[in-house]
């Protein structure tokens, strides 16, 4: 196996189905990316009958350890950016309240501790939404606490919260440009 190119992107898949499929195309557009797959994301993969069919230069890191061992690589400069997309309301709440008990919440916490910028595509961003479920489009009505947590997360250091696929694409492109400029 060839030497791991560093620094790299870290992309976190959570248990939200909101734009889950569309996120895969964005992942494929990144060079040197590791995909962190939470236990909840594994369930979503099965529900949507999806496979993690990414290029061989992308590592797939699954939620298999209690202490989320792969996040230790943040301390060694392996990652320059984190993308959490899509981010479930559960993950956003954990980020806001500092709970690090899953692969997704550990990646976000370690990125913050290491001052690695994160882009979070929060799913619960408006009082009424249409989203794709395994069997078609459905209406969802995020709770007030979900909307409040999304707003709180916007104030966190090293965090950009986006609310649409277009915003996600633009934030990734802005990060690419910053890396080129600084690199």
Digit-coded pLDDT (tens) for 16-60? 877 888 888 899 999 899 999 999 989 888 888 888 888 888 999
How high is the mean pLDDT of the chain?
89
pTM above 0.75, yes or no: yes
CB 160 within 8 A of CB 173: no
Within a domain: 67: yes
Within a domain: 1: no
The residue ranking higher by pLDDT, 3 or 171, is 171
CB 47 within 8 A of CB 134: yes
pLDDT score of 77 more than 50: yes
Within a domain: 124: yes
Domain count, the chain: 1
Within a domain: 103: yes
Within a domain: 160: yes
User: Other CB atoms closer than 10 Å to residue 101's CB: what's the count?
Assistant: 11
- Alpha-carbon distance of 91 to 88, in angstroms, equals 5
What pLDDT, on the 0 to 100 scale, is given for residue 132?
76
Structure token pair of residue 147: 């909307």
Q: What is the CATH number of the domain that holds 124?
A: 3.40.50.1950
61: helix, strand or coil = strand
pLDDT score of 109 more than 80: yes
User: Other CB atoms closer than 10 Å to residue 27's CB: what's the count?
Assistant: 18
**Range of 156's domain?**
8-182
What pLDDT, on the 0 to 100 scale, is given for residue 1?
42
CB 168 within 8 A of CB 26: yes
Within a domain: 153: yes
H helix intervals, the chain: 20-28, 39-47, 89-97, 103-113, 144-153, 165-182
- Alpha-carbon distance of 130 to 168, in angstroms, equals 18
Within a domain: 105: yes
Express each pLDDT in 59-69 by its tens digit: 998 887 666 66
Within a domain: 2: no
Helices (H) and strands (E) in the chain, counts: 6, 8
pLDDT score of 155 more than 60: yes
């Amino acid at each position: 196996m060839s030497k791991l190119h560093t620094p790299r992107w870290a992309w976190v898949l959570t248990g939200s189905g909101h734009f889950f499929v569309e996120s895969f195309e964005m992942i494929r557009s990144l060079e040197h990316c590791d995909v962190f797959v939470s236990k909840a994301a594994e369930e979503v993969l099965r529900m949507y009958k999806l496979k993690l069919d990414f290029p061989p230069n992308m590592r797939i890191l699954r939620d298999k350890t209690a202490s989320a061992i792969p996040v230790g690589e943040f301390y060694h400069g392996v990652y320059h950016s984190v993308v959490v997309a899509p981010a479930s309301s559960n993950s956003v709440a954990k980020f806001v309240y500092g709970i690090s008990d899953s692969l997704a919440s550990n990646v976000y916490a370690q990125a913050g501790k290491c001052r690695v910028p994160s882009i979070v595509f929060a799913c619960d961003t408006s009082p009424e939404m249409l989203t794709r479920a395994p069997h078609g489009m459905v209406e969802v009505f995020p709770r007030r606490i979900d909307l409040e947590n999304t707003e709180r997360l916007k104030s966190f250091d090293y965090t950009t919260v986006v609310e649409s696929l277009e915003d996600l694409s633009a934030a990734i492109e802005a990060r690419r440009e910053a890396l080129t400029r600084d690199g």
